[in-house]
Amino acid sequence: MSEFKLTSVEEFEQATNELLENGAKVGADAWQFRVKNQTPHCKFGEQGTCCRICTMGPCRITPKAPRGICGCDVHGIVGRNFLRFTAGGSATHSDHGREICHTLHEADPNGNYKVKDPEKLIRIAKEWGVETEGKDIYDLAHEMSELALLEYGKPFGTQRFLKRAPQHTQEIWEREEIAPRAIDREVACSLHMTHMGCSSLPEALVRQSLRSGLSDGWGGSMMGTEFSDVLFGTPKPIETEANLGVMKEDEVNIIVHGHDPSLSEMICEYADDPEMIAYAKEMGAKGINVAGVCCTSNEVAMRRGVPMAGNFLQQENVVLTGACEAIVVDVQCIFPALGPLSKCFHTKFVTTSPIAQMPDAEYIRFNAKTAGENAKAIVKMAIENFKNRKPELVHIPHMKQKATVGYSFESIIKTLDKVTNSQVDQTGTLMPLWQCVASGVIRGAVAMVGCNNPKVRPDTAHIELMKKLIAHDVIIVASGCSAQAAARAGLMDKRAKDLCGAGLKRVCELADIPPVLHMGSCVDISRMMVLVAELAKIGNVNISQLPVVGCAPEWMSEKAVSIGNYVVATGIDTYLGVEPYVSGSTEVTGLLTNGVRDWVEAAYTVEKDIDKLGDAMLARIEEKRAALGV
Residue 100 has a CB neighbour count (10 Å cut-off) of 27
List the one residue out of 441, 443, 437, 492 whose CA is nearest residue 463.
Answer: 492
# chain residues binding ligand XCC, by CB under 6 A: 14
> 187 or 525, CB closer to ligand XCC?
525
Q: What share of the chain is helix, strand, coil (3-state, %, to 5)?
A: 55, 10, 35
Sequence-distant (6+) residues with CB within 8 A of 496 are 4, 6, 470, 490, 514, 515, 516
* Interacting residue with ligand XCC among 433, 451, 474, 516 (CB under 6 A): 451
Residue 100: name its binding partner from ligand XCC, ligand SF4, none (Cβ under 5 to 8 Å by kind): none
Confirm or reject binding of residue 284 to ligand SF4 (CB under 6 A).
Answer: no
Q: 165-204 mask for ligand SF4 (x: CB under 6 A)?
A: -------------------------------x--------
Stretch that binds ligand SF4, among 45-53, 163-171, 284-292, 618-626 (CB under 6 A): 45-53
List the one residue out of 501, 509, 606, 511 whose CA is nearest residue 561.
Answer: 606
Residue 52: name its binding partner from ligand XCC, ligand SF4, none (Cβ under 5 to 8 Å by kind): ligand SF4
For residues 377 and 395, the answer to whether their CB atoms sit within 8 Å is: no
Min dist CB 581 to ligand XCC, Å, is 16
Confirm or reject binding of residue 480 to ligand XCC (CB under 6 A).
Answer: yes
For residues 574 and 209, the answer to whether their CB atoms sit within 8 Å is: no
Is there a binding annotation on residue 294? no
List the one residue out of 523, 68, 127 whose CA is nearest residue 333.
Answer: 523
Is there a binding annotation on residue 295? yes
Amino acid at position 388, single letter = N
Residue 412 has a CB neighbour count (10 Å cut-off) of 22
The three state secondary structure string of 217-255 is HHHHHHHHHHHHHHHHCCCCCEEEEECHHHCCCCCEEEE
Residue 558 has a CB neighbour count (10 Å cut-off) of 18
> 61 or 403, CB closer to ligand XCC?
403
* Interacting residue with ligand XCC among 254, 295, 403, 592 (CB under 6 A): 295
Stretch that binds ligand SF4, among 25-33, 66-74, 380-388, 535-543 (CB under 6 A): 66-74
* Interacting residue with ligand XCC among 166, 450, 550, 580 (CB under 6 A): 450
Is there a binding annotation on residue 50? yes
119 bridge partner residues: none
> 204 or 510, CB closer to ligand SF4?
204
List the one residue out of 193, 5, 166, 175 whose CA is nearest residue 81.
Answer: 193
* Interacting residue with ligand XCC among 481, 517, 536, 543 (CB under 6 A): 481
Is there a binding annotation on residue 51? yes
Is there a binding annotation on residue 268? no
Residue count of the chain: 630
Confirm or reject binding of residue 577 to ligand XCC (CB under 6 A).
Answer: no
For residues 296 and 259, the answer to whether their CB atoms sit within 8 Å is: yes
* Interacting residue with ligand XCC among 268, 294, 419, 517 (CB under 6 A): 294
Could you give the CA distance from residue 185 to residue 159 in angstroms, rounded to a whole number? 11
Residue 450: name its binding partner from ligand SF4, ligand XCC, none (Cβ under 5 to 8 Å by kind): ligand XCC
Min dist CB 597 to ligand XCC, Å, is 26
For residues 409 and 284, the answer to whether their CB atoms sit within 8 Å is: no
Confirm or reject binding of residue 54 to ligand SF4 (CB under 6 A).
Answer: yes
The footprint of ligand XCC (CB under 6 A) covers 259, 294-295, 312, 333, 450-451, 480-481, 521-522, 557, 559-560
Q: Which residues contribute to the annotated binding site for [4Fe-4S] cluster?
A: 42, 50-51, 54, 59, 70
